[in-house]
């Protein structure tokens, strides 16, 4: 494991008004968008090439 892989990954997310419902609570479906963005940033921090990763998945 490299030092980057061993370190906990943190990626702050700013929640905008458009992400919430009328009561100001984050709409549940938006959590999936936040998680996908965090996953993408985590892989980027590990220098994973997303294009190659997706190409290998299609084989």
Give the active site residues. 21
C-alpha–C-alpha distance, residues 15 and 25, integer Å:
10
Q: How many CA atoms lie within 13 A of 7 on its CB side?
A: 9
User: What are 20's strand-pairing partners?
Assistant: 26
């Amino acid at each position: 494991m490299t030092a980057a892989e061993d370190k906990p990954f943190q990626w702050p997310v700013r929640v905008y008004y458009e992400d919430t419902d009328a009561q100001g609570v984050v709409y549940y479906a938006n959590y999936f968008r936040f998680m996908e963005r965090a996953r993408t940033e985590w892989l980027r921090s590990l220098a994973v090439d997303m294009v190659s990763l997706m190409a290998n998945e299609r084989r």
